[in-house]
Structure formats: C-alpha cells, structure tokens
Amino acid sequence: MTLLHRVLYPEPMLSLDEYLARGGGKGVTAARAMDPLAIIDRVAASGLRGRGGAGFPTGRKWQTVAENRSPVAPSTVIVNAAEGEPGTFKDRSILRRNPYLVVEGAIIAALAVGADLAIVATKQSFGGEVDRLRDAMEEMEDAGLNEGVGLAVFEGPDEYLYGEESALLESVDGRWPFPRVVPTFRRGVYAGADPDVPEGPALVNNTETLANIPRILIRGPEWFRGVGTEASPGTIVCTVTGYTRQHGVGEVRMGTPLGEVIEAIGGGPRPGRSVKAVMSGVATGVITADRLDTPVSYEGLAAIGSGLGSAGFIVLDDSVDMAAVAAGVARFLAVESCGQCSPCKLDGATLATALATVATSEARDHDYGVIRKRLATVADRSRCFLATQQQVSVGSIVERFADEIEAHVRGGADPVEPELIAELVDIRGGRAILDERHRAKQLDWSFNERDSGTVPVERYQKVAPPWLR
C-alpha cells in the first residue's frame, strides 16, 4: 500500500519561500477572490469531515458559525492543536513538517466566517511545534498573507479535557479546561470574562481538518473526492503504536482496510505474535482481530461498533492481557475527568479501582457486578463525551473479552498490572514515548504523593491556571 502526502509532507517545509515555490499561498489568494458563502459551499461540497474525532461535516460547521455572527463582535477561528488522545501523534507530525499549510487553512476559514483572529491552541509542552508555528506566522505576516486576520499561538495545559472544544475555549479565556454547556458557535472566545463586552462565536477546527482546506479551494471538491469513500472522502493521517514492529504516522486513503494500515505504518505485529485487538484511542469500541479487514472510514468502523476517532490505532497482540488494558483505559479517563458531573468522576474512579483489582486477580464476583453497574451510570447527566467514553471503550473490552475478565475473577489468570494508557510525548526512532508521568497523576489532577480527596473543578476553579502565570 502506498502512503500519500496531501497534508503530511514527506519532508519538513523549512521556509515560507519554499512553501510558496511549491504552490503554497494560492488557497488564500483564491479565497480573497471569492464570496465567503462560496468558500463555505466549496468546502461543503468536498465532503470534508472534522479530523479531530467527531467527524462532523466541516462545511456545515462553517455555515453555522457564519449564520451566528454577532453584529457587534467579531468571530474567532481556533485551530485545535491540543492533541491528547492516547495513541495519536498526527497533528504534531503535520505541524512539524508544514505549519504554513495549517495557518493558511486557518486564514481561509477566517475569511469564510468573518473572523478577524485565528488562534492556534496548542500545549506548553509542545515546545518544538510552538516554535515552528510562531516562526511560520511571523514569515506569513511579513509577506502580508494574513491581511485582515490576526494570528496568534496559545500555549495551554496538558490536561486531556483541554482538547474538548468548549474546554479549549475556557483555557484560551484564561480559565481551567472545564467543558461548557453552551456551544462554541454561540459563545466564543472571552465568553463570560466581562459581561459588558459583547462576544462573537468561535469556529473550532482540528489541525488536520484545516490542513486540507487550501487545496480544496485551489483544486476543487472533485479533486478532494478523488480518493476515499462517498461518506468519508479524502485521506486520513493515522498513527500506529502499541505492540507492532515499529511506530509511526502515515497518510492513507479513507477506506483502506485497517490491517493494511497497520502493516504499512507499523510493520505489522511483532515477530511470532498476532494481533488480538486494536483500540482507536479511548473514545470508541475496541476492534477485535477478526475485523482487521474493516475499512478505515467513519462509516466502516461505526458499522462494527467502533469509530475512527483521531485515527490513533493502538495495536494489542496475543501477549496482552485485556483486563490490564481495561484497567488502564478506565484509570486514564477517571483521572482526566474534571468532576463537574459527579457520576463521571466518582463512578469512573470506582470503575478504575474495580478493574485494577480484577487485573491483579484480587477481585470477586461482587467487583464484577460493581463494574457492570457503574458502566451503566457513569454517563448520567454528563455535559461532555468523556463519561460516554468510559461506557463505550471500557464497556466494549469488558464485553468482547469477557472470558479474560472472568478468568481473573475466578482465579484462573495470573495477576498483571494495569496497562499504561497515556498521551504520546513523541515518536523517535520508530518507537512511541508515552507520558510516564500519568502513572503518578492523581484524581485531583495533581502529582502530589496523595490525592486531596476533592475533584479538579472544586480544587482549581478559583485558582489561576499555572500556564497563564
């Protein structure tokens, strides 16, 4: 299978001059000659869907933001470069190789929805990517490519919820990443900071989504639809990690069978091993080995009870104990819950504890009952998707690998420690580096020796975020 290079360039683009010499900047030029609604119509016709996880139609999102423009306050474009889903490294790879492409896409989006500012929201810990973005923006400003659209980089926290659309805006506003109830197309940047200051809506798009925009403007919707499927046109940038020969990032046609993606990017399973399961991050159902022929597309993976997510595929081979994986996923999500919704935090913590007890073969039938009960209630009254992830991701492992879970409960399996499920720090030399700090992260988001017994929303809502100090 041949990897493509529509948005993931094979080599880094080292200067704006090089980018312009290779056709960069033509998307902005085309956009300035078009009516804003015509830009939106072209994006809608392409069928581009958000590459951040949800897969929402991009053109429809732009149209909604444009229709909700404030008569007195400008709109804002936010590039969601907060990438924190376990198993994914595609957005940072795109930014490392060609930040100009992403910034150009953001400028086009701003012209389409009437925004006067485009902010790339990333993390303080993404030092190299931040430096590349700032340099690229400075070059583009000097060249006048951003005329009428201010450019900025925001460096936010490492918390997983920072990647949630409304929580990201809360962070940009100077608060902790606690998800809002009101959608971002109604309350944008600086919402609530000053009740006397009018607020415009915000368009939030993922890094990879915006990287597709310039060529869609230049080459048209038919070109974009030249690869992929009817419901999932275009390409998708995938990350393959876990128990494979190598780890890496590659761009493939939508609709490529999952097994081929694992072979092309990860080299397949380790010598002498076979694939047992694959996780598409921690927001979708686990994929069993008999489903490796499933097309990598929104509709293909949904049809088998999973999802494309951000196309970060964590491959698990036949040496892996799935009870340890379930415990690792449950712990990650329980720790990263903010606590605004009590069932999410409390039931999530109970799930994590019970599954850790299962993995270490210390559980009894009662604990198995607790797991099933808490899976049913953890998402009650939830305001964001994290609690549902517990139900979907953890629940699918418990269901599809019930024999391994039950073996621990019955005393027929050796004890194992929970698998580390955490964000990627980097991929170097074909090996993924996981955030080992997560082993010590407490439920209150601190790294103290002992947890405070409270939840982040209570502990930090009146404390200034450290990344803004």
> Is residue 424 in some structural domain?
no
Which pLDDT score, from 0 to 100, does residue 2 have? 86
Q: Are both 192 and 256 inside the same structural domain?
A: no
Q: Are both 331 and 269 inside the same structural domain?
A: no
> Is residue 155 in some structural domain?
yes
Interval 37-71: pLDDT, tens: 999 999 999 999 999 988 999 999 999 999 988 88
SS (H, E, C) the chain: CCCECCCCCCCCCCCHHHHHHCCCCHHHHHHHCCCHHHHHHHHHHHCCECCCCCCCEHHHHHHHHHHCCCCCCCEEEEEECCCCCCCCCHHHHHHHHCHHHHHHHHHHHHHHHCEEEEEEEEECCCHHHHHHHHHHHHHHHHCCCCCCCEEEEEEECCCHHHHCHHHHHHHHCCCCCCCCCCCCCCCCCCCCCCCCCCCCCEEEEEHHHHHCHHHHHHHCHHHHCCCECCCCECEEEEEEEECECCCEEEEEECCCEHHHHHHHHHCCECCCCCEEEEEECCCCCCEEHHHCCCECCHHHHHCCCCCCCCCEEEEEECCCCHHHHHHHHHHHHHHHCCCCCHHHHHHHHHHHHHHHHHHCCCCCHHHHHHHHHHHHHCCCCCCCCHHHHHHHHHHHHHHHCHHHHHHHHCCCCCCCCCCCCCCEEEEECCEEEECHHHHHCCCCCCCCCCCCCCCHHHHHCCCCCHHHC
Q: How confident is the model at residue 3 (pLDDT cuts 50, 70, 90)?
A: very high
Q: Are both 183 and 255 inside the same structural domain?
A: no
Q: Are both 311 and 337 inside the same structural domain?
A: no
Looking at residues 413-428, what average pLDDT do you find? 96
Q: Are both 121 and 148 inside the same structural domain?
A: yes
Domain boundary among 224, 247, 273: 224
Angle 68-74-76 (CA atoms, 0-180°, nearest 5)? 85
Q: Are both 282 and 329 inside the same structural domain?
A: no
166: Cα separation from own chain's centroid: 14
Domain boundary among 317, 332, 355: 317
Q: Are both 338 and 308 inside the same structural domain?
A: no
Interval 429-454: pLDDT, tens: 999 999 999 999 999 999 998 989 89
Looking at residues 355-367, what average pLDDT do you find? 89
Most confident of 32-46, 71-85, 378-392: 32-46
Which pLDDT score, from 0 to 100, does residue 302 have? 97
Domain of residue 341: give its range. 322-418+435-459
Tell which residue, 195, 204, 287, has the closest CA to residue 242: 287
Mean pLDDT of the chain: 94
Better-scored residue on pLDDT, 331 or 383: 331
> Is residue 7 in some structural domain?
no
Give the whole-number percent of the chain exceeding pLDDT 90: 85
> Is residue 440 in some structural domain?
yes
Q: Are both 95 and 240 inside the same structural domain?
A: no
Looking at residues 386-391, what average pLDDT do you find? 94
Interval 261-285: pLDDT, tens: 999 999 999 999 999 999 999 999 9
Looking at residues 194-203, what average pLDDT do you find? 72
Q: Is the pLDDT of residue 190 over 70?
A: no
Q: How confident is the model at residue 403 (pLDDT cuts 50, 70, 90)?
A: very high
Which pLDDT score, from 0 to 100, does residue 187 have? 58
Which pLDDT score, from 0 to 100, does residue 368 have? 82
Q: Are both 347 and 295 inside the same structural domain?
A: no
Domain boundary among 295, 317, 339: 317
Q: Is the pLDDT of residue 195 over 70?
A: no
Q: Is the pLDDT of residue 197 over 90?
A: no
- Please, are residues 175 and 465 in contact by the beta-carbon 8 Å criterion? yes
> Is residue 113 in some structural domain?
yes
| Alpha carbons 439 and 331: distance in angstroms, whole number | 9
Q: Are both 304 and 327 inside the same structural domain?
A: no
Better-scored residue on pLDDT, 373 or 462: 373
Q: Are both 173 and 29 inside the same structural domain?
A: yes
Which pLDDT score, from 0 to 100, does residue 36 have? 97
Total of domains in the chain: 3
Q: Is the pLDDT of residue 318 over 80?
A: yes
Q: How confident is the model at residue 363 (pLDDT cuts 50, 70, 90)?
A: confident
Which pLDDT score, from 0 to 100, does residue 180 have? 84
Q: Are both 171 and 297 inside the same structural domain?
A: no
Which pLDDT score, from 0 to 100, does residue 404 have? 95
Q: Is the pLDDT of residue 173 over 70?
A: yes
Interval 345-357: pLDDT, tens: 999 999 999 999 9
Q: Are strands 150-156 and 115-123 parallel, antiparallel or unpaired?
A: parallel
Which pLDDT score, from 0 to 100, does residue 273 have? 98
Q: Is the pLDDT of residue 186 over 80?
A: no
